[in-house]
Chain A
Amino acid sequence: MQDNDLRLDGNAAGGLLNEIFPFEMTAAEATCGGCGTIRPIGEVMLYQHGMGAILRCADCDTALMRITHIRGCYRLDLSGMTNLRIASEIHQQEVHR
């Protein structure tokens, strides 16, 4: 199996993000600072490593969010995104007919 096959997406970061944010985060929309694309966190690329995770833009590979958890401290580097829109209500699937 190649590394590429093990690459996940932001859906798999939902549990980790819930340790930090009080809201459901896979539906939160991030605006990429590199290319301006807006996508739900569930759609961006996720790279996990021993101490945390990196979320990268699916279009231009910019690191949107770097998360580490070391010695009881979370650190977030959000310099790769210009906006993060988080719904504060319980998210329901929107139905457009």
Chain B
Amino acid sequence: MAQQLKWQLGTVAEIRLETPKAKSLILELPDWPTHLAGQHVDVRLTAEDGYQAQRSYSIASPPGDKHLMITVERIEAGEVSPYLTDGLRVGDRIELRGPIGGYFVWDARDGGNDGPPLFLAAGGSGIAPLMSMIRHRVSAGIKVPTRLLYSSRSYEEVIYREELDRLSAHDPTLRVIHTLTRRRPPNWMGYGRRIDRAMLADTAWRPAEKPLAFTCGPTAFVETVATHLGELGYKPERIKTERFGPTGG
């Protein structure tokens, strides 16, 4: 995109409570080009005295949707996220620019149903750009075999849980594997620890299947996933990384 992005005003059309700490903002933008799954927007807040704070948020909605969705996790003592999660009401406007990014993106049209299998690894709110990819896969009708390994602290903190359950229940080519690192419901049958090499060896596609991997989450999470996938035989250029959302603060 050989052009400069302009700041524009988005109107909050809907606020969705995703988990006790995370909310999705569904935004109406009059002048929005389409985006690619995995891209983000910069959000800018300006205080009355002119002080500005800016953060990047991944787009969670798929390309072609009428509205743009970002999901914000409240960071205690953060400068921007508490305002976005607690201070905004439907009809309020926020300033943003985008879409941004050409590295951490997936376009279903590139390979269609013959594209490489996808291995997605999410840590917490790092699910957002991967959810855009999963939703894009659905809306484009593409059935490339896809596995999502999703690490959350507890069952209540699994963002988009019902939608992921519903999508994977109706689609044998989409598998969602959860791990809950802190608290687990009684009779939990899934993983109950942080992602490690053994878990990746059990869940990721084998390198011979020529998969493409995307991982997004806190820095330590992303580096663990990227390092172990590399050790398991994934080539570096087949592992796309995005550290912490980006949702810091």
Contact = CB atoms under 8 A, between A and B. Distances in A.
A91 B100 CA distance: 12
A18 B210 contact: no
A24 B1 contact: yes
B29 to A, nearest CB: 16
A6 interface: yes
Contact of B243 (A9, A41, A93): A9
Contacts of B42: 15
Chain B interface bracket (under 10, 10 to 19, 20 to 34, 35 or more): 35 or more
Contacts, number: 108
Given A22-B2, A26-B103, A11 B246 contact: yes
B75 interface: yes
A5 B218 contact: yes
B243 A8 contact: yes
Contacts of A14: 40, 56, 100-102
A11 B104 contact: yes
Interface residues of A, number: 34
Contact of A15 (B1, B97, B103, B218): B97
Interface stretch (B105-113, B158-166, B199-207): B105-113
Given A14-B40, A42-B103, A92-B107, 4 more contacts: A91-B102, A95-B110, A96-B210, A97-B210
Interface of B: 1-5, 36, 40, 42, 56, 75-77, 97-98, 100-107, 110-111, 114-116, 210, 212, 218-220, 237-238, 240-244, 246, 248-249
